[in-house]
Chains A and B, each alone.
Chain A
Amino acid sequence: MFQTIMFISLVLLSLSIVVGLYRAIKGPSTPDRVMALDTIGINMIAGVAILSIVMNTYAFLEVILLIGILAFIGTIAFSKFIERGVVIERKRDE
């Protein structure tokens, strides 16, 4: 029973990744794509968490943390890129 629920949720998460991917590729504007990527990242966190429950291991908890950080940094970087055109700004006095 538990296994089945886990399995169904995994499949659902994967499907939502597919849907997010559709938006990431299709998505008319860049912000759409960035948001889709962020969604995919969050879904991946959930997927990894459920996988580690299924596999009964603690080994992937760092992966969850890492995806969280990366998704955040990535989204911020993209947003800055869209907003200002650059990711890392140069200092004024140079």
Chain B
Amino acid sequence: MTWLPFIIIIPLFGAFSMPIVSLLKGKAKEIWATIISLATLIVGIEVFREVWTGGTIVYALGSETPFGKANFPIRIVWEVDKFGAIMVLIITFVSFLAILYSIEYMKHDTGLEKYYTLILILELGMLGIAITGDIFNFYVFLEIMSIASYALVAFRNDTWEGIEAGIKYMFVGSLASSFVLLGIALLYGQYGTLTIGYLALKMSQNPTIVAKVALALFLGGLLFKSGAAPVHMWLADAHPAAPSSISAMLSGLVIKIGGIYAIARVVFSMFLPAVNLATVGWIVIIFACITLIVGNAMAVVQEDMKRLLAYSSVGQIGYILLGLGIGMVAYGSRVGEIALAGAIYHTVNHAIMKALLFLVAGAVLHELGTRNLNELSGLARTMPKTTFAFLIGAAAIVGMPPLNGFASKWLIYESSALFNPIIGAIAIIGTAFCTAAYIRVLFTFFGRPSEKVMKAKDPGIAMLLPMMILVIAIIGMGLFPWQISDKFMIPAARTLWDIANYVASLMGGG
């Protein structure tokens, strides 16, 4: 008996019952969404514990085994390894806090029953991607996640920027998704199966040019979803325009699951036997270096607080891609292991700290009604708790030693310097830009109070509580950086590399 199915059942039930629950007047829909996401968090913790004690979970839908009377999988399977379990945990955690935050943050908006339906579906889509072991099923959940996020970006339909960003995101996002679908169609035509583990097996027997074309299409589509450099423009528009609770989920989770996790899963668990990993790795590294510099440099010159955070997200995606790319080129070596562990660690850390920073930006926007940094000087005087949360988040993202961002960035620096000193230097330059951007914001916050800021005050408990939980998470994780990296991140990196085990646990029957 495994808890795994409930990670889909509970949010699905919550989302589909939301229109009925919202017939009750008052706060019913907020309370219902909070209960559902809390229950999902509990199941997420349980699934994480299960995978960590019992190893990879393989679950066939509709039968005991995925095989039937054949010797190849005919049913859809879920396959949750250690990396997937980490993603499940962080998705359920950040989604719960974002929903808790929305109770107060969204109270001036209309159409809230649709808002809570969509936010639960967004969580559902991300969880589906994290647990699936079937490539077409991956596409279905990628679409669920994408469509929910298009609608949520444009949720404030009375603002011009919401609609503009939504249209931009939707047009290019659907194009990127169709690339992924085209890649899946090619793979099915050539290999005749849709299960990721079995596809890897078939590809190892017969690597063809079709596999390479499909991989190129996958990488193109998924790098778009992660906001890598030449195609990051949707992100810089979508994050500022969305409600802040949604920006926190988009920046903390959607670009990681739809981008980073998907690239890692597709490359390591599916294409590893069929393609030259070093070539793929260098392509990822090149994009990572461009992303690092462009994202962080553009963050320095922004006037708009949320746009600054959005560009900073692009920059941090650059670090994660860098770790991932080195993990591919240096497959099987100690350097590659450190790089991949650093990438996974930074994915988790960045989800926590960027969620915190966007929630802070939302609190500022909610109290003052402006995101322009020039009008926010002296915020520390009137909103001390919010400023404190921002200070912690900014210090963590820059990588100050007592906080969690330090260890993950250190792993990426160390491995990139060992791998190739030039890439190490590029990573350091990116951090210099990042530091400059955040110090500029902090100087503004601690400056002389402007007239507009004087009548501001800290937000209520429902908005402060999620921020404080994230602050505690950042500080708490910062106290045990190397323990976390040795106990969780390095084993996760090893299971991601271990394709033989991934295929064996599928074929051995769940």
Do A and B bind?
Answer: no
